[in-house]
Structure 1
Amino acid sequence: MKSRTVGEIMTSDVVCASRETSSEDVLRLLNRHRIRALPVVDHDDKVIGVVSGSDLAQGRMARARTGRDRWFRLPGRGRSAHGSAAGAAGELMTSPAVTVHPEQRVSDAARVMERHQVDRLPVVDEEDRIIGIATRRDLLRAFLLTDEEIRRQLSEEVLPGVLGLPPGAVTVSVRDGMVVLDGCLLQSSDIPSVIRSIWRVDGVVGVMNRLRFADHNCRPPAEELRGEAP
């Protein structure tokens, strides 16, 4: 069983803007490539921010409220711009950008995306240079497993591999990627390794642990499942 990485699913051909790219050119790029946002890079291809269609709209509204020849501050962005020169990507972008690395697991990238409420993540190397883009659609393609397929993989491959228990020893249910575990183990030290192994499976977005162990008044399947003498 191998968990896919961001580098395996990312798009290498990335549409970028520079700090000096005008808002009009940004809009043209967004429309031409049918995307919602694009990375802003410096002269060394290092990602310094992300500019989106909503950033452009906020910039237009700010200029309309304050007048084209006055300074304004974009709400929540922590930066100012001058009306007569406003509209460059470097002035409108959200910075710092939320990025991922190619060796990160797809499941981890999906959680980053959900946490920050973004639908695309620039992929950068160890020096923060842009090497690709991972979109929500890219991640979804890697998550084509249904809840039932995830449940079967956990029950038949992951848990037996970690604990040496046969399929069905621990009850697994999955709904919308949320895994619920129920059952009784021999010892509490088994539980952390079980949880870690489940998080490594693509498509898992959360784990609810209802596992118990022998000294919590449950009956572990020791004799018949581990082959130990009664």
Structure 2
Amino acid sequence: MLPILTLAGDGQFDAYVARPAGTARAAIVVIQEIFGVSAGIRRKCDRLAQDGYLAIAPDLFWRLNPGIQLDPDVPEEMQQALDLMGKFDQDQGIADIEATIRIARAEIAGGKVGCVGYCLGGRLAYMTAARTDVDASVGYYAVGIDGLLGEKHAIAHPLLLHIAGADHFVSAETQAAMHDGLDDHPKVTLIDYPGEDHGFATEIGARRSPEAADRADAATAAFFAENLG
């Protein structure tokens, strides 16, 4: 675990870190789902480290329930996760992600830093692209992007969004609004996965759809290789 000081200097939170065997080609901040820095998120970090990246996953729920890890396949824990999302301050979350980006950039001597997020983390990845100096961002099945289209003018670096076509958290109308608002943005790429539901690229559990997950992860790897090195 890596301790990270808040931007305001008024608190400290932990982040899971996976380091590559040699010199990191770049750093990537891995943004959690509503289930905390779970075993699946840690595995995402480990896979990125195998690809040569320094991967850091901050505990964004530290103000609510530090270190919490929930299982979406357990109904009670899914409800607890939804309750946490309702209490989570997303603006504070972005500040904590920015603090993590700064630490990550220092760890690699000023090199490039990307981010990748899932579910709530996908939404935060979009917000990170619009509100920070992150060099490249990826969001998987991001929620509520239609309400954030007013920030698209601030996206200055490449952003890739994976859209689950049958996402029960993101309606067809919302997906259409994402395309209408972002298809002509020079820095944004949207990839659709028809028939796939929310969480299809999870590492662990019933939500995983292997073929779609592999396709999305391959696109993400190519995107980071192009934009981070």
TM-score, normalising length: structure 2: 0.23
**Is the radius of gyration larger for structure 1 or structure 2?**
1
